[in-house]
Chains A and B, each alone.
Chain A
């Protein structure tokens, strides 16, 4: 974690392209993210439809010319993806009252019997058709959501995010808090990186020992980083108060934006995608729909 280069994060958050997707109204970008998440929830159990949604998001990233950056961001969640898939594959067969077809039986038992012999009887680890399907589907959900979120981050500037949220009538303090949280991610990483350097310069080896001691060493560095972040947050609050933040119930909105035809068209297209998701959810449609 501490090896993350804050320059890279700055690069991700700082520079923006100039494609028609980048130029969309920030409100449309925010609504688009909401539509993609809503569609994803509609398709939670439908692998094929989810895969289609994922491809659609990748296609948009391609059109925006940010596909490499997006893949790099999705890679961050890969360990979580593996965990979700394995968790579903190996644990869902234990759900009682759900008829499942066993595909493989592995030559060892679940550990529950050894841990709680009174409660569990020995049973072999199995992979069922249903658990395999659900494992991959839940993994796909994660990839789709992270794909949508990463494309959103790559398309929107922090200023646009605050403006967009304000134009959507979200309270300004909340919008500003969201924006500042993103702005200060690279600074937090920069602090962490400097703190790690300061300890290495005093002979501390962050890569020494097993994973537990390495994790412990890294966590100890979080304390000064949190301290720095706290000081910075309180300074920003003082600076904002000193500039009349909260003096009037309704503040002036500096930027005035008009929705263009392209914005409306994109909104309609993506509303249609959600509509399709709702229909698939209601009528089964493609893929294998499973209900608990």
Chain B
């Protein structure tokens, strides 16, 4: 084992005026040259721990700091942040908030200029980093005009150029598209291969799972797990974790629960596919129309092999579209009725001439639960803002409930159309949570008694009762999100648009919000969720339509299975089909239906009673 390059001893930290400490006695040693994922729920202390490593805490924040943090043999208390920057590079999560100069070249060279490195060396190094990251096209451009993904690449370049011994990246992929993500992962792995210690802070451990040497899981300011990925996959139940986990590990864990050997757990997707194929080598094709066993994971062996007959779409839909109590709900919205929302050849151009929507024709009916996805800048939010008149079509028309809404003000349309904005801080401006909940109702002229009653009911069902008299600005990110969702749903609009409802939430919080949205939805409503990452929605049982946007046009649309399992779409969005679909496809010769996108359903199918080899039998 290499010598420890980061030593943390009994680290405790509380932000100024905080009620509770964020870090509660962290002891951690990270050997030189390791790639470490630091993960955990929102508020678990991931970023705080990272900032302690580069000295930003306590220097820039103040607060109560106890214990010792040593990087490259230097106690962080002994050096200033700017001096520690020679050893520790820190890439922040939001690129827009870390660009200090207006031109790409000066931004990348910023750190080296601060260190008074000779001009010629700076020019050489910046040139090399442009080439290394493949961002030569950004030369000469203003940082101001770049897309968020491009800004993030510049931010990463501005740290890499300083060649730090330790590189900390705080959620570096959240604003990047898949191609750029792959590039960043490649570069980071290259740096790690060359000896740089990498601290990868993220809620999505699947990004680096197979490449990491170690995973540190923070649980409410304490270390909940510290060890290699394989050990984590074997020891911890990923289902209950507040982080995004690799789908293939989820599947492996389901299979182990159903009696498969632990051998099935492989950190890499490729290894997982290989192992599953080995373990199911003698598995025979099975007829899916056979009745399901009562207990999942039963290992009883059928005497006769059965042929594989794919189920009809209607059968699948009936399985997927069930409500909370497991009761089937209507399989499809009634499209013969008049649409509730109609985009009639809508084109929209911004004042600077950029055409964000190009001849969009879409119809949504009562009972449509729609996910709108696509890359940044594909026109998702612009599309949604047409629904309540925040934007008006340059060409074409918007029809809601059979009426052209071109001359209806947004404040009038708001009564029937709720809109949840992405950033809660843009929405919350009242002194208390109670006022925030009352805000829309008062705007719509609801009487005081009803307002009070509704607030009480709403606070109960959204678990906000204890927060009613608090200022929204004091709340945590997930609490703020819950308040904003509640403040929209409180007036029961028939159409609701959620713009990135799960943004900046951990996995458990995201599931809670999706659950709230699903509970609100019924066959009389239209729910539109905008999300750049459709993978968060694969578990949704209410979703019945997915629209993928590309360059201001509808690229593809269809039911979730058709979209989630479509290789063209998934390759466009993520560079490859979902891991679960890849595994299902690799097992298709053994009677497994190739169109799977949920770990749970694939595990269920693999463990369905069939003839299997002894390799697969439980230990």
Contact = CB atoms under 8 A, between A and B. Distances in A.
Interface of A: 5, 7-8, 10-11, 13-14, 157-159, 162, 176, 179-180, 183, 186-187, 191, 194-195, 197-205, 220-221, 223-224, 227-228, 231-232, 234-248, 250-256
B410 interface: yes
B113 A252 contact: yes
Interface string B97-115: 1111111011001111111
A157 B105 CA distance: 14
B142 A227 contact: no
In the A-B complex, the 8 residue pairs with the smallest Cβ-Cβ separation, listed nearest first, are A203-B443, A239-B98, A235-B97, A243-B111, A247-B82, A244-B85, A201-B419, A203-B414
28 contacts: A7-B352, A159-B106, A176-B101, A194-B421, A198-B421, A203-B411, A204-B439, A205-B409, A224-B429, A231-B425, A236-B100, A238-B51, A239-B98, A242-B85, A243-B85, A243-B158, A243-B162, A247-B82, A248-B114, A248-B116, A250-B116, A251-B116, A252-B118, A252-B122, A253-B113, A253-B119, A254-B109, A255-B106
Contacts of B101: 159, 162, 176, 179
Contacts of B123: 254
A183 B102 contact: yes
Interface in B112-151: 112-119, 122-123, 142, 144-145
A241 B56 contact: yes
Nearest to A187: B96
Nearest to B155: A239
B351 A7 contact: yes
A202 B82 contact: no
Contacts of B283: none
A16 to B, nearest CB: 9
Interface string B386-426: 00101000000000000000000111001101110101011
B379 interface: no
B429 A158 contact: no
A228 B426 contact: yes
B100 A198 contact: no
Nearest to B103: A159
A244 B423 CA distance: 31
Contacts of A256: 119
Nearest to A220: B429
A11 B414 CA distance: 31
Contact of A239 (B83, B100, B102, B439): B100
A201 B429 contact: no
Given A223-B429, A228-B425, A200 B444 contact: no
Contact of A205 (B80, B158, B443): B443
Contacts of A241: 56, 59-60, 81-82, 85
A228 B427 CA distance: 11
B90 interface: yes
A148 B608 CA distance: 79
A183 B90 CA distance: 23
B443 A180 contact: no
B104 to A, nearest CB: 10
B383 interface: no
B111 A224 contact: no
A183 B100 CA distance: 9
Given A200-B410, A221-B429, A235-B92, A242 B56 contact: yes
A6 to B, nearest CB: 10
A187 B162 CA distance: 28
B100 A242 contact: no
Nearest to A240: B100
A5 B352 CA distance: 10
A195 B390 contact: no
Nearest to B162: A243
Interface string B319-361: 0000000000000000000000000000000111000000000
A204 to B, nearest CB: 5
A223 B159 CA distance: 33
B102 A157 contact: yes
Interface residues of B, number: 74
A248 B119 contact: no
A187 B97 CA distance: 11
Nearest to B97: A235
B115 A247 contact: yes
B111 A244 contact: yes
B119 A202 contact: no
A13 B145 CA distance: 10
B27 interface: no
B200 to A, nearest CB: 17
A255 B109 CA distance: 11
Contacts of B297: none
B61 to A, nearest CB: 9
Nearest to A5: B351
Contacts of B83: 244, 247
B335 to A, nearest CB: 28
Contacts of A202: 414, 419, 427, 439-440, 443, 487-488
Contacts of B388: 201
A245 B51 CA distance: 16
Contacts of B350: 7
Contact of B144 (A14, A204, A250): A14
Interface in B151-192: 155, 158-159, 162
B130 to A, nearest CB: 14
Contacts of B9: none
Contacts of B425: 224, 227-228, 231
B439 A198 contact: no
A179 B415 CA distance: 43
A232 B122 CA distance: 28
B54 A242 contact: yes
Contacts of A159: 101-103, 106, 142
Interface in B54-98: 54, 56, 59-60, 80-83, 85-86, 88-90, 92, 94, 96-98
Chain B CB within 10 Å, residue with most, of A203, A205, A236, A255:
A203
A184 B387 CA distance: 30
B576 interface: no
B264 interface: no
Contacts of B444: 203
Nearest to B352: A7
Contacts of A14: 142, 144-145
Contacts of A237: 60
B600 interface: no
Contacts of B427: 195, 198-199, 202, 224
B30 interface: no
Contacts of B428: 224
Interface in B182-223: none
B473 interface: yes
Given A5-B351, A240-B100, A244-B82, A254 B411 contact: no
A164 B114 CA distance: 18
A248 B90 contact: no
B119 A247 contact: no
Contacts of B115: 244, 247-248, 251-252
Nearest to A222: B429
Given A252-B115, A254-B113, 5 more contacts: A8-B351, A14-B144, A197-B390, A198-B421, A201-B419
B218 to A, nearest CB: 20
B341 to A, nearest CB: 16
Nearest to B441: A203
Contacts of B60: 234, 237-238, 241
B90 A247 contact: no
B188 to A, nearest CB: 17
A5 B391 CA distance: 12
B358 to A, nearest CB: 18
A252 B112 contact: yes
Nearest to B445: A203
Contact of A252 (B103, B119, B418, B439): B119
